[in-house]
Structure 1
Amino acid sequence: LALLNAGVPLRASVAGIAMGLMSETDEGGKTKYLALTDILGAEDALGDMDFKVAGTSEFVTALQLDTKLDGIPADVLAGALKQAKEARTAILEVMNDAIDSPDEMAP
């Protein structure tokens, strides 16, 4: 937003979202997973995964993943990525409502 406000042309705006994961294993050994969107400090510290996703409305430009689990099923990770895209798209819509093109640069 600051770059657009300063008059810098961008190909696309970029937003990021912090995702998390909670898991619970029952007595039968079956694990249930719950992906969290827009986590805060406690969810980051106490959760099983911390997953930062940044990008435009079309592309992921950066990923960062920390996990306390020995592994995460591919479908769980794919679901978290899908949730992250939905959140990122919502953030980008708000950003584009605020400013969708570069302001004119001052002389």
Structure 2
Amino acid sequence: MATKQDHPDSNLFPHATGPAKAIVDAHQAEQPLKLFSSWFCPFVQRAWTVLEEKQIPYQYIEVNPYHKPDSLLKLNPRGLVPTLQYDNKPLYESTVICEFLEDVYPDHSPTLLPKDP
């Protein structure tokens, strides 16, 4: 059975490219809201799209799935992305993050979820 170090891709760091890289580069500055991400993950893309559409300031932190940083593991022991750090507290699961952003940032439009489900 292969370990993390034995995985053939364990030395590859998945960097965003093209238009995604431009967005990543624009969100490297320290912000209170931090999105631990891997650009290729569809669940990250769900939360990432909400942040971008609502124009909520955030810091994008790229995570290599084979070498997860301690800063992520302290917030989310499973080490899964997306993980959102808000007020030094973690949120994870993309739908939870999307609902949270909609509730906490109601003045940022567009509204992406119905008011009365």
TM range (shorter): under 0.3
> Bigger radius of gyration, 1 or 2?
1
Q: Give the alignment's TM-score, normalised by structure 1.
A: 0.24
Q: Give the alignment's TM-score, normalised by structure 2.
A: 0.22
> RCO (CA 8 Å, sep 6+): is it higher in 1 or 2?
1
